[in-house]
Structure 1
């Protein structure tokens, strides 16, 4: 009788944990003591039955950062994530295999290989690495060939090549990191299970639909390994820290394809099967489990006769369930020349799901940023009478996310965010009251004064006593004059004496007056989630400013300032990304100038520093709990320099025509 599984680890990271094997593994871990923490990463949405206490990171793991995984600090990494096709791969699999097998495996070890916490790595490899001459035959085989770990290798397809490449990478790392972590590489045989893409699950789905199944190579042998057993075996291998290197994982008892059909017939008496001759060689392989038996006190117990009824039950229940909703696309309105913003949104969308498209919208058919989007929409003005047209376009294009980028449109999107939400569209915008407060500098200042926040006083006239806290104006007193609405840096009169301030005010439409305060100007990038929690915050200095935007900006490492800003920003009642402008004076004072309740021109530095605004927005829109995606501050100061660059790409006529 095998011993119960006891994991010597407390923190488990599983890549591809929403796959067939991964879901079985998570169920197994959920039955273990509550002190075991699990982080699952997968491109698919979080399965409904995953325990709330387990962390889940949805998105392309090629974009997992060292900060993200370092914050979780795994003891053991179980690498399941992979993409595959059938044994004969299509031409289009060339790039997919590289991106989600070769590149992904390399990247996941790159961000983990130096983690002090990491003690164990288990990489799910494949028997496809072995030379197919050992187990492929032109004639019907009499019996299966047992493959040993030291048999000749020659991967028979791209998937096998990718598995072998990473086996070699792990062997390389072990020459340098063997004292830090051990590595086990199970070569897994013919997998099948609930919710699978394997032929067994496909046949079950066809039979439930009353269809005839097509059977190729009925006399071939495969070592069928049930996913629940694979998950158990991998966890037991992870726990056996002294077992390293390559090891077979199968049942060691191959079954013919015709036997699978007969088991199905026992469950579907009216089964109709068409047996087709093929020029594909017969396969006859199974795992030699000698090494496994000598190291692990457990063998896969589940037979086809036991597993197939479970798969049928699962597929029946899944057929009755509503289909999973595909991820919607993203519309960036007023895209203009905001190329860095577009690139940041595209990067976030790819992390969530590779099929999400980013659509640029603008009233200018020649706007620059359209060349960096997946498609472009010459959209109507954001006025109330055009809302039906906007809704129609979003439904037609499958848009479920909208990111406004211009102050002048925020009120429109905010007014209609409920109607858009009813249509299944999430808009990255705050409530109408909060938007109005930020757009009106006079109202924003009054709010700050009423709530005791350090917002610079603002007035409609040169009321020096009000602006300077009861003090009379002197010859040294100077003022700031700006427009009440719109970008505060445009038409700005700075450090003006009283007469000059009054003269400058006459050139403005709605002038407002503020006291001139000498200090160090900073911007603060932050993101506030739907619950009103400040999810992340990064202050930065404005080193070189052109037309009100930071051409050179540097993050400011000041924990005390961050702690001071957090409750202030929470008081504004905003949602989504924001940019706070403020002054720091030599006496330690903080003076808030204004707040822009949208993503800022240089806020891409905030993303690089950990304020992951667009990714957080997409995750929230998908129903994720952002506690699963904590703010991870950059390890040191970062500087961003905004400079023009040339981009050359192949002309896409279809895109241009749009």
Structure 2
């Protein structure tokens, strides 16, 4: 089969159909590029050349998909419940069926590259009165594309809603891209959630299976055939609108049981009567066969042994997989959370996009920490000391914590010192290594490193008279800045002081350092350094109103030449993760670096809004992703952030 597309976006690519499809695409033209998206982690056998985006695709942006520029979109992502839908499915169906389908077309409908959309719909759209019966049916009903529709559950409703949305878009975008909507019948396959796979797993474990409605008919469609059929349908660009995709040959449930018995002669099956109507449905494939010279070939007799072989082969690794699954998705601890509500909300947003099951745990020494009210769990933590490390690791494991985000300068050295030990325990910490942390916390060491590395760092000294050198003499009227050597530079800051006043102010500090005062515009630079040591995203912002060292009003500025100049400077620091660089810009285009905080800053939430997606990138890297698949996309216009107190009323 030849596919007239080279850049293919597949939603739900880690599902049972998606995995079969990716395998097929990998065996086709080597020029084909795939962007595969799913909530689940990247399957181990996905080709390295294919991009993978783990996370909630509701967060996919127009800029992100625009960079990939797909010419074919195959929409497989969906959530469903095989049995009767539960009350809790109400929200899940809306977010991951209704909202997701709408969102994915919203961000793609105006892409010039897009030529074809294939939406995997379902036969659940048809009126169940056509194929549900109170008595045992003699044969299956062939459902035609023109038959009456009445979705029988929320999943069917969501599929129909998006069918109508695509029909709407077709009235405006038919000249740009074509859409086709295959209504897929009873799917099953390797590693599936369907009843056939569940029965195979039960029989391999020596368990008895329970059979309901043995006389019902279903049009069983093997996932490998579904993937093949969808790709053939994508290639047939003249086919648009609704089309059935099944075998057209329904089989009874009892046939599935018989094939299983052929492979498990000693199997035990308990046939249970039920008041659920008998189903007898199959696809009318007339439209399909009139335009595509292929029909799904795989029978139950061929497919079920393949499923059994697959399940047997993975039994060696199943225990490890179940252990990992039992641990959950890996929750996030925000240490020293205090009153850092904006930071907490930013972490929650990133976690929701990555995996909605992740919980945010707030950690603090203070049992009354304000931000505890914004987390899923609270931990009154012991002091971050070496003696307490075993207890901290043990508690993290008990709480299912796999990610730690430190937020206070005073704890960075502890987390950096034990980063490798925590990693060995399955806990990723968002912190630089010890040398980089020390380099940033100690302003003297930072200035010395900068001078030796040829960086434009403001001269810094423990003695006022030592600032003047033969190479850099100070002007007679030089004013000075006096601050503490360690910690936040804004605390006890003496700014624009003459020499005598600077000396006097220094006596009030524990370990004062001196810098020449430079008149200019102070800026902050928010960025993220990936695990390879490269700057992955960088934005600059002015500090318009500063209170106790933090920007209460801050505005992004477009200074691409400055950021390009800063990038190699930052990479020399050996950082990992988020950082905030403070610098001064002078009227003569001079750049003077003041200091660097190797953590997420108080106003760095503006950096996230402007494209430096620090916490989401951290989660991706902790999961093993290459951030080249999540490129930095800066905001297209300046943004201003105003940090103001807000009253929040919440139910008790």
Q: What TM-score does the superposition give when structure 1 sets the normalisation length?
A: 0.96
Residue 348 (structure 1) aligns with: 350
- 1:273-292 residue pairs with structure 2 within 5 A? 273-292=269-288
Residue 328 (structure 1) aligns with: 330
Residues 1-30 of structure 1, C-alpha deviations (whole Å, 9 max, x = no match): xxxx21111110000000000000000000
Among 94, 112, 120, the alignment partner of 1:98 is 94
Residues 385-425 of structure 1, C-alpha deviations (whole Å, 9 max, x = no match): 22222122111111111110000111111111122122111
Among 383, 391, 415, the alignment partner of 2:385 is 383
SS in 1 for 2:105: helix
Are positions 1:254 and 2:255 aligned together? no
Q: CA deviation at 1:338?
A: 0.5
Q: CA deviation at 1:473?
A: 3.8
The alignment yields a C-alpha RMSD, in angstroms, of: 1.3
Residue 44 (structure 2) aligns with: 48
Q: CA deviation at 1:426?
A: 1.1
- Contact persistence 1:457–1:467 (CA under 8 A): no
Change (3 A) 1:393 1:284: same
- Contact persistence 1:73–1:118 (CA under 8 A): yes
4+ long deviations beyond 4 Å: none
SS in 2 for 1:463: helix
Residue 609 (structure 1) aligns with: 610
Q: CA deviation at 1:58?
A: 0.7
- Contact persistence 1:459–1:467 (CA under 8 A): no
- Contact persistence 1:526–1:535 (CA under 8 A): yes
- Contact persistence 1:465–1:473 (CA under 8 A): no
- Out of 247-256 and 488-497, give the one that drifted further: 488-497
Are positions 1:511 and 2:507 aligned together? no
Residues 198-228 of structure 1, C-alpha deviations (whole Å, 9 max, x = no match): 1111111111111111111111110000001
Distance 2:157 2:470 in 1: 72
- 1:254-273 residue pairs with structure 2 within 5 A? 254-273=250-269
Residues 230-278 of structure 1, C-alpha deviations (whole Å, 9 max, x = no match): 0011111111122111111001111111111111111111122111111
SS in 1 for 2:37: strand
Residues 465-512 of structure 1, C-alpha deviations (whole Å, 9 max, x = no match): 5379432441x2111111111111111111111122112212212111
Distance 1:228 1:554 in 2: 52
Are positions 1:498 and 2:499 aligned together? yes
Distance 2:546 2:291 in 1: 65
Residue 429 (structure 2) aligns with: 427
Residue 555 (structure 1) aligns with: 556
Distance 1:51 1:359 in 2: 35
- 1:320-469 residue pairs with structure 2 within 5 A? 320-321=316-317, 322-323=320-321, 325=324, 326-463=328-465, 466=468, 469=471
- 1:206-225 residue pairs with structure 2 within 5 A? 206-225=202-221
Residues 503-558 of structure 1, C-alpha deviations (whole Å, 9 max, x = no match): 22122121111111111111111111122111111111112211111111122212
Are positions 1:239 and 2:235 aligned together? yes
Q: CA deviation at 1:66?
A: 1.8
Q: CA deviation at 1:84?
A: 0.5
- Out of 415-424 and 19-28, give the one that drifted further: 415-424
Residue 646 (structure 2) aligns with: 645
Distance 2:287 2:83 in 1: 27
- Contact persistence 2:467–2:515 (CA under 8 A): no
Residue 163 (structure 2) aligns with: 167
SS in 2 for 1:70: helix
* Count of matched residue positions in the alignment of Structure 1 and Structure 2: 646
In structure 2, list runs of 5 or more residues that go unmatched. Answer: none
Residue 192 (structure 1) aligns with: 188
Distance 1:30 1:493 in 2: 63
Change (3 A) 1:472 1:101: closer
Q: What TM-score does the superposition give when structure 2 sets the normalisation length?
A: 0.97
Distance 2:586 2:236 in 1: 59
Distance 2:633 2:18 in 1: 26
SS in 2 for 1:323: helix
- Out of 522-531 and 461-470, give the one that drifted further: 461-470
Residue 145 (structure 2) aligns with: 149
Q: CA deviation at 1:464?
A: 6.4
In structure 1, list runs of 5 or more residues that go unmatched. Answer: 652-658
- Contact persistence 2:485–2:511 (CA under 8 A): yes
Residue 655 (structure 1) aligns with: none
